[in-house]
Structure 1
Amino acid sequence: MKYPLLPKSLECSTKLRTLILHKCLLMFDCSAIGEILNLEVLNFANCGIRKLPSKIGNLKKLKLLDLIGCVNLRIDDGVLNNLVNLEELYMRADDEKAIRFIDSNHAELTELSKHLSALEVEFFENSDELLECSINELFEKTEVLSLQMDVPIASGLMKLEFLKVSQCPVLEFLAYSKNGGAGEIGFQKLKFLYLEKLAKLEGFCNNVNVIELPQLVYLILDGLPNFTNIYPEKTSTTSSVSSNVSPIQPFFNKNMLIPKLERLIILSMDKLKEIWPYQFSSSDVVNACMLTKIEVMECDNLVNMFPTNPMSLMGRLEVLDVRECGSIEVLLNIDMSCVGEIE
C-alpha cells in the first residue's frame, strides 16, 4: 500500500472489527484508522509505520494492538492511556531496532499494563533505563511475558504462567539480588519455563536462599553449556574440588522447590554428565517424583541417565526418550540386593 487510506471509506466501515495491515509500507499518516470506532483488533506487524498518531487513541473498543516489527516507531502522547479496553499489546522489534519510548510512554504503559493479560515488548540495551522507568510495576496482571534482558523484576511476576528466555548471550541469572543471599523468590503461578541458548547462564538466581516454583509442570533446558548436573548433590562439594577437576554446577539449587514438575526436556547441554548426581531415597524425591515424561537429546557427555536404584523416582514415569547421547554407559543402575526393600 503506497497511498493513504481514504478517511471517507473508513468512516463507512462501521461494522469492521479486525484490521490487519501486514508488511505494508504505510509511509503516510494513519490517523484515519482512528475513525473505525468499533475496531477490536489492529495489526501493523512488520509495517513501515513510523508514528502511531494520537487519533488511534479513539479506538475505545480495541482489545489487541500488534506493533511487531515496526522499527523506530514513535507513539504519540495519550495513545496508550486512551486504549482503555486493550488486553493484548505486542511491540517486539526486528533487527535490534526497538520502539522509541519517551518518558510519557513509560508512564502510560505502566498504567495500561494493569489490565493487560498479554504483553510483548523490547527495550533499550541499557538496563539502567529499564529500572528508571519502573518496569517492575508493569506486571500487576500480566500473565504472558517475553523478556530479552536480565532485569530484577521477579518479585512482581506473581501471576506469570509462561516464561521463555531465548538467545541472550550475556545473561548470567534469570533473577538477580543484591541482598547477600537473603529472602525468597516465588513464581507462584509459573507453569511453563523454557530456557534456550543462554551461553553464560550460571543459575536461576545469584544469591537468593529459597526459590519457589510451586506450579511448574513443564521445564525445557536447551543449549545451556555451563551445567554438569540438573539436580544438586545432597551436600556442597565445592570446597573439596581439586584444581584439575571441573566443579559440579547444578541447574537447581538445594532450596529450589518444584513439587509438581511433570515434564523435563533436556537438549544440547555439552557439559552435562549426570541429571541426578546421587542415589535417591524415598525422602529425597519431593522435587522429582511427579515426573511423567523425561526427554534427553544431544548431550554428548552424559554418562548416567538415572542414579542408583531410581525406582522411587520413576513411580509416575510414562515416557522416557533418550536420543543422540553416545556417551551414556548406564540407563538404569539397580542394586538387586535392595529391590525387596523398595516398592
Structure 2
Amino acid sequence: MVQQPVNHARLQGDELYEGVTDWLHSVDEFISEGVAKSIIDVEDRAKKSCFKGLCPNLISRYKLSKQAAKAAEAAASLVGKGNFSNVSYRPAPKRAEHMQAKDFEAFDSRMKVLQDVVEALKDDKLKIIGVYGMGGVGKTTLVKQVAKQNPDPQKIQDKLASDLGMKFDLNDSIHHRASRLRERLKQEKRVLIILDNIWTKLELDAVGIPSGDVDEKGREDDQRRWTIILTSRSRDLLHDDMKSQKNFSIEILADKEALQLFEKIVGDSTKTSAFQPITNEIVKRCGALPVAVSTDALNQLRNSNSREIHGMDANVYTSIELSYKFLESDEAKSLFLLCGLYGQGHSLEVPSLLRNGMGLGLFKNVYTLEAARNRVDTLIDILKSSCLLLDGDAEDEAKMHDIIHAIAVSIASEKLMFNIPNVADLKEEIERTIEKEPTAISLPLNKRKASELPERLECPKLKLLLLFTKFRSSLIIPDLFFEGMKQLKVLHFTNARIPSLPSSLGCLFNVQTLCLDGCVLNEIAIIGQLKKLDILSFRDSNIEQLPLEIGQLTRLRLLDLSNCWNLEVIAPNVISKLSRLEELYMDNSFSQWDKVEGGSNASLTELKGLSKLTTLEIDVPDAEILPQDLVFVELQRYRICIGDKLGQRHVKSETSRLMILKRLGKVSILLENYGTKMLMKRTEDLCLRELKGVQNVVHELDDGEGFPQEFNDQVPKTYQEMCFFPWLESLSLMFLTNLETICYSQLREDQSFSNLRIIKVAFCGKLKHLFSFSVAKNLLRLHKVEVEDCREMKMIIGKC
C-alpha cells in the first residue's frame, strides 16, 4: 500500500518525504537484515529433530517462538507507522539548464551588460531590473543566460506554479491563483523571476508576484528576497510603468562583432577573396543588428552566385514593425514616418523635423513654436525610448538605424509617403510613384539625376516634397513644375544650386513651410507671393539680399537666415512688418545694422515691434548701436554676439541663453543699456574674448547682483582678479598664456565656486594651480576636471 504510490511518485520525478524514506529504509532492514531473517534461520534449524529425528528440538522451538513474538511486535509497529496520507511532493527546480541560450555570443558589448545585470542581482535594494533595446538586438538571448519567461499573466502564473511545485484547481480564479502564489513566494528566501519581452504595463500583484519584500505587518524582511528582470523595447515602460530601479541598454553590435557573427553563421568561406565583397555588403546592410545578421546571413548569403540583397527576412521586419505599432501616440508614429523620408544615413536635425512637422500640422493643440519644440522633444524621447531612434552626434540631432530606416520607408509607403531611391531611370520611378497619388515624396538627387525632374509633377494630393542634393548640385526646376501640387504644405530643398525659382512656385497658395537650406539662389522675390507661409528658412544659403517682398509674409512665425555669410542688405521696414515672428535666426549672418531708422539697411530698432519673439540669434558689431529701450521680456532662448563682425563662428554651447562679448574696449557700456543688462542677468553662458582694453572683467560687468551660470573661453589676464562666482557652473580657460593662477587670498572662500560642476583648462602655459585648499572645500558639486597642455601645472589643488 505504501510502495505503489512511492513507485508512482518516482516515475513523476517527485521527491519523497523524509519520513517515508526513513520508513522504507526500516522496512528493508527488517526484511533483509533484521529479526525476520534470524527467525527463518532458526526455523530451519528447529526442523531438524533430535535423536535421529525421533523427537522435536524443544529448545530451538522455544527460542523460535520467543523471537517470533518480538518480530510480530516490531512488524506491527512498522505497519502502524506506515499509514501515510501522502508520500511525496513536487520540488521547485534547482536549475534551469534547459533555458540556457545556445546562441549567446560573448561579445564585449554583450558581456559588459551581462556582467552589469548579474552585479545588479547581488544588490538587495534592487527589486526590479530592466533590460531594453530595439527589436532583434539580443535582449532575449542575453536574459536567457539566467532564465526565460512568457509575459502573459495566466501563463506566468502557470509557469511560476510549476516551478514552485504548486497545482491550481481548474476552477481557481486568476485572483485566487495570485493570492496563493504570493503566499507561496513568501516562503522562499531567494527567487529570480524573468519576464521577457513585455509590451504593456503588467500588474505584478495581480499576477501574484509580490511588489516588495514586506511581511504581513508591513515590515521588511531581509530573509525573504525576490528579484525581477524585465526585458522590453521601451525604456519608459520599464522606468515609468514597471518602476524598474535600474535599467541596462543593449546597443547594436560593433562592426567587428557583426563580422564575427556573420562568419560564424556562414562559415570560413566568407574569408576568401571571392566572398569578401558580399560579406562586407551584408554586414553593412544588416547594420550590426544581430537578428538581421543571423536571418539574412542564412537565407540570402549562402548562395555563392548571389550578388544582391533581395530583401529583409520577415521575422526582422515584423519584429521592428511591432515597435512602431505599439507606439501609443499617433503623433509619434507620424514623426517616425517623417524621419523615414530623410535619406538613409541622413542626420535627423530636430529643427528640420520641427519645421516640416509644423507645416504638415502633425502636432495637435499646439499653437506656438515654443510649444511645438517641446512636443517634438517629447516625441523624439518616445521614439528613442522605444529604440526606434538613436542619439545623434550633436545635441539637436538624432539618428535612425539603417534597418529601422528601411522599415520606416516601407511602412510610410503604405501611407502613400514615398522615399524614392536613386535608381537608373529616375523619371520612370517618379511616374510610377505619381500613379499611386502620393501625399509625401522624398527625392534624393545626385549630380547626374538633378536635371531629370519632369516638366510638371502632377500630384494633387501631395502635402510634402523633400529634395536633397549633395555638393550643391545644379537643379533646373521646370517652369511648370509646381502647377500640379496646389495642396502642398511643405517644400524643402537642401544643397541645391537653383539658377532661378520657377513662376509656378507662386501657385503654392497653401504652402506653410519653405526651406531652401544650403541652396545657391539668385532672385527670391517670388517667395513674397506665398501669403500663408509660416516658416521660411534660408539657412546656409548664399543670398545677398532680403528683398522688400518678404515683408508681405505677415503670417511668418519663423525666419532663419543663419550662416548666410553673403547677406549684406535687408531692406528697411521688412523685419518690422513681420509682427508675428516668434523665432528669428541671424547668427553668423547679417551684421550691417544701420545706426538709425530710415537708412539704407535695417536697424535694430525694428526688433522692438516683434512682441511675440521667443528666440533670437543675432550679431551686433558695435554695442553703441543697441537701442536703450530694446527690451526682450519674452525671450526664452538667445545667442547674441556683441562687438565683432565675425559673430558666433566656432562657438559651441549646450545652453539656451548665450552672450558673446568680443573685442570690446569697454564692457561696462553694456550695463548702461537696460535691455542688454537684463539679458546678461538671465544669460547661462557668457563668453568673453579678446577684451584687450579691459582692466577688470568682473568689476566692470558685475554690479553686485551676481554673475551668470557659465563663464568661459578666452578672457584676459585680469581674470585672475575676479571676486567670487557663487552661481558659476562651468568654467573654461583656454590659451591664457600669462595666467598663473585663478585664485587669490581676497576671494570670499565661503562662497567662491560653490556651484561649479565642470572646469576645463587648456594651453595655459604658466598656470600652476587651479584652486587653493580653502576654495576646494566648497567644490561639493564638482564632477569633471579637464586639463590639457598646461606645462607648468604642479597641482590641481594646492597653495596659491
1:316 matched to 2:794? The reply is: no
CA distance in structure 2 between the aligned counterparts of 1:265 and 1:87, rounded to whole angstroms: 32
Tell me what 2:526 maps to: 32
1:176 matched to 2:643? The reply is: no
Answer whether contact 2:749 2:775 (CA < 8 A) is retained: no
The one-letter amino acid paired with 1:86 is: L
- Aligned residue-pair number: 282
Answer whether contact 1:72 1:99 (CA < 8 A) is retained: no
1:297 matched to 2:794? The reply is: no
Give the 3-state SS of the residue equivalent to 2:504 in structure 1: helix
CA distance in structure 2 between the aligned counterparts of 1:23 and 1:54, rounded to whole angstroms: 20
Change (3 A) 1:99 1:16: same
From 55, 63, 88, the counterpart of 2:583:
88
1:219 matched to 2:691? The reply is: no
Tell me what 1:306 maps to: 771
CA distance in structure 2 between the aligned counterparts of 1:80 and 1:219, rounded to whole angstroms: 32
Change (3 A) 1:116 1:135: farther
Bigger proportion of residues as helix: 2
Change (3 A) 1:108 1:173: closer
Bigger shift: residues 197-206 or 310-319: 197-206
> 1:65 deviation in Å?
1.6
Answer whether contact 1:300 1:324 (CA < 8 A) is retained: yes
* TM norm structure 2: 0.31
From 45, 51, 64, the counterpart of 2:558:
64
CA distance in structure 2 between the aligned counterparts of 1:35 and 1:177, rounded to whole angstroms: 41
From 181, 196, 202, the counterpart of 2:689:
196
Tell me what 1:182 maps to: none
> 1:144 deviation in Å?
1.0
1:118 matched to 2:612? The reply is: no
> 1:24 deviation in Å?
1.8
> 1:102 deviation in Å?
6.5
From 524, 532, 536, the counterpart of 1:42:
536
* TM norm structure 1: 0.67
Bigger shift: residues 199-208 or 320-329: 199-208
Tell me what 2:736 maps to: 269
> 1:141 deviation in Å?
3.4
Unaligned runs of 5+ in 2: 1-496, 645-654
> 1:92 deviation in Å?
4.7
Unaligned runs of 5+ in 1: 151-159, 180-184, 230-249, 335-343
> 1:120 deviation in Å?
3.2
For residues 294-319 of structure 1, the C-alpha deviation after alignment (integer angstroms, 9 at most, x for no partner) is 22221111122221444422322222
Q: How do residues 246-257 of structure 1 correspond to structure 2 at under 5 angstroms?
A: 250=721, 252=722, 254=723
The one-letter amino acid paired with 1:217 is: Q
Larger Rg: 2
The one-letter amino acid paired with 1:112 is: G
Higher RCO (CA < 8 A, seq sep 6+): 1
Answer whether contact 1:93 1:99 (CA < 8 A) is retained: no
> 1:50 deviation in Å?
4.8
Change (3 A) 1:302 1:53: closer
1:141 matched to 2:634? The reply is: yes
From 7, 15, 19, the counterpart of 2:515:
19
For residues 235-260 of structure 1, the C-alpha deviation after alignment (integer angstroms, 9 at most, x for no partner) is xxxxxxxxxxxxxxx1x2x4x6x432
The one-letter amino acid paired with 1:89 is: L
Q: Percent of aligned positions with the same letter in both sequences?
A: 20
CA distance in structure 2 between the aligned counterparts of 1:3 and 1:107, rounded to whole angstroms: 32
For residues 220-242 of structure 1, the C-alpha deviation after alignment (integer angstroms, 9 at most, x for no partner) is 1x23343361xxxxxxxxxxxxx
Change (3 A) 1:296 1:72: closer
- Give RMSD over aligned pairs: 3.6
1:73 matched to 2:540? The reply is: no
> 1:327 deviation in Å?
1.0
Change (3 A) 1:9 1:224: closer
For residues 171-205 of structure 1, the C-alpha deviation after alignment (integer angstroms, 9 at most, x for no partner) is 234332799xxxxx664322222223444443336
The one-letter amino acid paired with 1:275 is: I
CA distance in structure 1 between the aligned counterparts of 2:786 and 2:604, rounded to whole angstroms: 48
